[in-house]
């Protein structure tokens, strides 16, 4: 891992059968302020981070209208529009932000329509390649929320009557494996699994530190390489507000762990 690898070293994955992206993406939550609220501490650094990840082959960026709120989407457009032809920007709706570190579900059809239209404006897109329902709202029947997204899709893509499910985004990392059965399902149905909090709780796996020392890399790179090796349907989206940290994360694309290392990390050795 002497030369700076690009995201292409992780291989590719198909999203929904009609989008192909490199299998190491970027999560744009951390380019906002503390508590995922307001502007970032350094506007210029956030812009530089977004441009750097694209320079290094990242062509899948995950964001949401609630990151900031609005700030993440606005920064993406400022930094990258007009977008490269192969860049896929995925965004989400369904959460509202009354303050820093506060996330309230809102699955009302009228809110989801407003959220989607706002994302289109902020991202300067005519249509959103991948739109995700951020979180079910216990106060609103799921069918109503998904029906609103179906209507939006019909209007944007003309006469589609069903919303194809092409991706799932759940918490998953070396210590939190509660979504393993969902990953198994994603493998069966060829769905993309987007793990959030992918590099948290590394300290709960001694094998991570051992592998990092063995390969002369960081523990962050080890856990990202472990995710890539865990399932071909996993598309990691590590986030950061630092160009240097982004380069480090993308460096994991070329790191190959041995079967023994993967097993030790998975089993907590």
List, by residue number, the catalytic residues: 67
Q: Which run of H or E residues covers position 60?
A: strand 60-62
Three-state secondary-structure class, residue 1: coil
Query: Taking Cα atoms as reference points, which of 60, 132, 66, 129 lies closest to residue 95?
Result: 66
136 sits in the region (left: phi over 0; alpha: psi -120 to 50; else beta) called beta
Under 8 Å between Cβ of 86 and 59: yes
Write down the residue that tokens 């609630």 correspond to. Answer: 66
Q: What distance in Å separates the CA atoms of residue 187 and residue 255, rounded to the nearest whole number?
A: 23
Under 8 Å between Cβ of 193 and 235: yes
Query: In angstroms, how far is CA 232 from the centroid of its own chain?
Result: 16
Q: What are phi and psi of 62, to 5 degrees?
A: -105, 130
- First-to-final CA distance of the chain: 25
Under 8 Å between Cβ of 179 and 220: no
Under 8 Å between Cβ of 243 and 52: yes
Q: What distance in Å separates the CA atoms of residue 78 and residue 26, rounded to the nearest whole number?
A: 16
């Amino acid at each position: 891992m002497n030369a700076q690898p690009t995201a292409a070293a992780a291989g590719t994955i198909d999203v929904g059968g009609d989008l192909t992206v490199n299998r190491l993406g970027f999560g744009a939550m951390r380019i906002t302020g503390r508590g995922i609220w307001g502007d970032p501490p350094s506007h210029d650094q956030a812009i530089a981070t977004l441009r750097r990840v694209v320079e290094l082959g990242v062509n899948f960026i995950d964001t949401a209208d609630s990151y900031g709120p609005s700030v993440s989407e606005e920064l993406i457009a400022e930094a990258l529009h007009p977008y490269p032809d192969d860049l896929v920007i995925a965004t989400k709706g369904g959460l509202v932000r009354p303050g820093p570190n506060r996330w309230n579900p809102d699955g009302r059809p009228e809110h989801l329509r407003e959220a989607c239209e706002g994302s289109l404006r902020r991202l300067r897109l005519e249509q959103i390649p991948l739109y995700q329902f951020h979180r079910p709202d216990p106060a609103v029947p799921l069918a109503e929320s998904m029906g609103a997204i179906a209507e939006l899709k019909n209007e944007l893509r003309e006469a589609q009557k069903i919303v194809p499910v092409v991706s799932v985004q759940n918490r998953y990392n070396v210590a939190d494996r509660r979504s393993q059965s969902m990953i198994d399902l994603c493998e069966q149905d060829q769905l993309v699994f987007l793990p959030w909090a992918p590099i948290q709780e590394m300290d709960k796996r001694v094998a991570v530190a051992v592998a990092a020392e063995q390969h002369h890399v960081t523990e962050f790179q080890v856990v990202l390489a472990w995710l890539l090796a865990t399932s071909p349907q996993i598309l990691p989206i590590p986030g950061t507000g630092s160009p240097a940290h982004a380069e480090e994360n993308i460096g994991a694309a070329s790191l190959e762990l041995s079967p023994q290392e993967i097993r030790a990390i998975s089993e907590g050795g």
